[in-house]
Amino acid sequence: MLFNQASRLAKITSPLGPDVLLLNEMGGGEELGRLFNYELQLTSLDANIDLNQLL
């Protein structure tokens, strides 16, 4: 199986480029009078990602 987003329902766009990060899991929540929150679990084959590029 190729490591790409072509057949995925949700796609991740980041400064790292296409298909560097793939969405593995997503969750979220909301409360009355509070902001929404989302948590993403992302997967990559690149073990040397510069996390500063994501900030």
For the segment 2-54, what is each residue's pLDDT rounded down to a tens digit? 788 888 888 999 999 989 999 999 999 999 999 999 999 999 999 999 999 98
> What kind and span of H or E run contains 50?
none
What per-residue confidence (pLDDT) applies to 23?
93
Q: What is the pTM of this model?
A: 0.73
Residue 3's alpha-carbon distances to 7, 26, 34, 52, in angstroms, are 10, 18, 36, 23
CB atoms within 10 A of CB 11: 13
- Indicate if the pLDDT at residue 1 is higher than 70: no
